[in-house]
Structure 1
Amino acid sequence: MKSRGTAMNPHNRFQPLATDRERDDGWYQDPDDDLCPDSMATEVVDEQVRTIISRNQSPDVPFDRSINPYRGCEHACIYCFARPTHAYWDMSPGLDFETRLIAKPNAAEQLRRELDHPGYRPATIALGVNTDAYQPVERQRRITRQLLEVLLEYRHPVSLITKGALILRDLDLLEELASHGLCSVRVSLTTLDNSLKRTMEPRTAAPATRLKILRELTAAGVPNGIIMAPVIPFVNDHELEHILEAAANAGASRASWVMLRLPLELDELFQDWLQRHFPQRAGHVMNRMRDLRDGKTYQSEFGKRMTGSGPYADLIRQRFNRQVRAVGLNRGEEPALRTDLFRRPAGEQMGLF
């Protein structure tokens, strides 16, 4: 499937009925049969949301609230931990996740309502965590930019995670937010190998472009760093030191890492991808994954799901910490984004009368 992470569409686990189509023996070929097209267009439908800020209590992440302008992600990363969430919308975590997107056009309007609520207390909002806020559909829909405009107006802190070059379109907003101590950015950098990038995360920005993003953010005074997420045994783990060095040279100041996670349907999708692209090492990769997860392919427990456990996890941690020190990343504590500047423009204007 051209420019897609997978051609599979595994069954939706919430749907009690499943259908299979039996193929013929190959003698008859219907020229109009689109069972196996070589490409597929992206479909986008709108959802008028009633809430936009999602809350979490996970000790594994440094934020308790987030906003996702889109459901599904056209970036098509085969390893994306968010794929199984597409089943909640009666769609498959496979090809549907990449091609059948849901946009939230009233996101900015709803954000205003929630920030205006008298009981709201500001804390950093992570923008684009479950799915990328700067995936290709954002170029036309501009929902992420509208959200940033609201956050700037309210002087509300925001952090962003992306692997999309479109973030540079909004550099004007990010620069102004950063000038008030209200913004930080993390670029997901998983490989420096263009060939691996094309198969593993087909519609994302090239590695060189992501380094350019870091350079331009640094030049604009926007605090930034990278996340090597995920680290995949015997696929990209050998690049760890080179990725950290390249990021430091591009101006990044922070770095972190996450081990590959394979929840629910993602296990089947990733293993199919391995067999297609790395058949000789597929068994080796999955054996290491089981070593990391106490004999299973995934653990959902807090404290283990992001890093795994055992000798290999310890080795990755040691390599990461040593290289971070060597290239000068993660020096000192990262300054917290400001919350004391938060204001409600509508409320302030009413106070003048």
Structure 2
Amino acid sequence: MHYVKAKGIFKSDYGINLYRGCTHGCIYCDSRSEIYQINHKFEDIEVKENAPELLKKELIRRKPFMVSTGAMTDPYIPIEKRIQHVRKCLELIYRYGYGFSCLTKSDLILRDLDLLKKINEKTKAVVQITINTTDDELCKIIEPNVCPASRRLEVLRRLNENDIPAVVWLSPILPYINDTEENINSILDCCIDENVKGVLNLDMGLSLRKGNREFFYGKLDENFPGLKDRYVEEFADSEFVHGKNDRKLKGILKRRCKKHGMLYKQDDIFEYVHEFPSKSVQSKLI
């Protein structure tokens, strides 16, 4: 871990990255790709030590909107327990009447359930959870340093009990690993049970760009002997890969989401996540 003084806090889409790098150890992580220019060891987390101060300055001078954490680094990596950047930012977001959304696969988010509830009562809070398998043993292999899928389902349950809307990121789908009808249906069963707002799948596959490709292939050799050779033979140097039954899996997702009233189109989900409820906010703040 190392600290930096950041010059700014917001990206163009009102997203904030409080950390750079990650220690979850997910074997497929696209954020390892060279295009993101992380110029330090990926597990050596870069901490923007002045992030809360920068956020406060921006929130004071702007009109409220949905503040989102970026997707490159899970905001609830283990060091957040000690540094508490997310919690400090949530306190500011609540104080100044903004909304909040984040993407995580960590149960540490339950630490901040009190603030999420307060924000959602005042404006809007949306929690996005990555779940790409319901098999805890497989989860421990492909996402070794984060809570298992069963615990994430408990997080969904707690969010549902507290009326906080959730979106499940059903991704990535790794060919010959978790790209089965049984797996997709199992995840969707849980989403239906916990009344999630939407299920986002950017595509039934994963990105393999320079940087994360090498890491991923090394992990395939460790955990799935022989599978790397199959990937190389079928996908060559493709930067995005998907299995042969991806169309069928997409059909299952679309059909079941439509039947149970869950959003599934990418544009619809992103619009929902980023839409700030201005009229209700004004009435609540009067």
Residue 122 of structure 1 deviates from its aligned partner by 4.3
Of the structure 1 ranges 258-267 and 157-166, higher mean CA displacement relative to structure 2 is found in: 258-267
Task: Answer yes or no: is 1:297 the counterpart of 2:238.
Answer: yes
Asked if 1:111 is matched to 2:52, the reply is no
Q: Distance in 2 between matches of 1:85 and 1:69?
A: 20
- When residues 319 and 123 of structure 1 are mapped into structure 2, their CA distance, relative to the original with a 3 A threshold, is same
Distance 1:287 1:181, change over 3 A: farther
Distance 1:261 1:331, change over 3 A: closer
TM-score in terms of structure 2 length: 0.85
The percentage of aligned residue pairs carrying the same residue is: 27
Where do residues 21-170 of structure 1 align in structure 2 (5 Å cutoff)?
44-55=1-12, 64-84=13-33, 88-91=37-40, 96-98=41-43, 100-117=44-61, 120=62, 122-170=64-112
2:123 and 2:8 mapped to 1: Cα distance? 26
Question: Contact 2:254/2:264 (CA < 8 Å) preserved in 1?
Answer: no
| Contact 1:156-1:339 at 8 Å conserved across structures | no
* 2:146 counterpart residue number: 204
Task: Read off the aligned partner of 1:297 and give its amino acid letter.
Answer: S
> Partner residue of 1:329?
262
Q: Is the 8 A contact 2:157 2:194 kept in 1?
A: yes
Between Structure 1 and Structure 2, the one with more helix by share is: 2
Equivalent pair of 1:183/1:337 in contact (CA under 8 Å): no
Deviation of the 1:286 alpha carbon: 4.6
Q: Distance in 1 between matches of 2:224 and 2:56?
A: 47
Provide the rounded CA distance (Å) in 2 between the counterparts of 1:165 and 1:69. 18
Show the counterpart of 2:178: 236
The change in CA–CA distance for 1:331 and 1:198 in structure 2 (over 3 A counts) is closer
Greater shift in the superposed pair: 197-206 or 161-170: 197-206
Q: CA–CA distance in 2 between the matches of 1:121 and 1:264? A: 40
3-state DSSP class of the match of 1:146? helix
Q: How far is 1:170 from its partner? A: 0.4
Aligned equivalent of 2:247: 314
Letter in 2 for 1:267: R
CA gap of 1:168–1:85, structure 2 versus 1, over 3 A, is: farther
Partner of 1:13: none
The gaps in structure 2 that reach 5 residues or longer are: none
Q: Secondary structure at the match of 1:231?
A: coil
- Give CA deviations for 1:239-290 in whole Å, capped at 9, x if unaligned: 11111112221332311113311122111111111122112333334555x3
Contact 2:4 2:47 in 1 (8 A): yes
Q: Distance in 2 between matches of 1:72 and 1:317?
A: 31
Note the alpha carbon deviations across 1:32-89, whole angstroms, 9 max, x for none: xxxxxxxxxxxx111121111112xxxxxxxx23111111111111111111369735
Does the CA-based 8 Å contact 2:129-2:167 persist in structure 1? yes
User: Could you say if the C-alpha distance between residues 277 and 319 of structure 1 is closer, same or farther in structure 2, counting changes exceeding 3 Å?
Assistant: same
Q: Aligned AA for 2:256? A: Q
C-alpha separation in 2, matches of 1:223 and 1:51: 29
Unmatched 5+ stretches in structure 1? 1-43, 56-63, 300-307, 346-353
Give the letter aligned to residue 247 of structure 2: D
The Cα RMSD (Å) is 2.6
> C-alpha separation between the residues in 2 aligned to 1:85 and 1:109?
30
Q: Contact 2:93–2:100 at 8 Å: present in 1 too?
A: yes
Alignment CA distance shift 1:152-1:235 (3 Å): same
Aligned length: 272
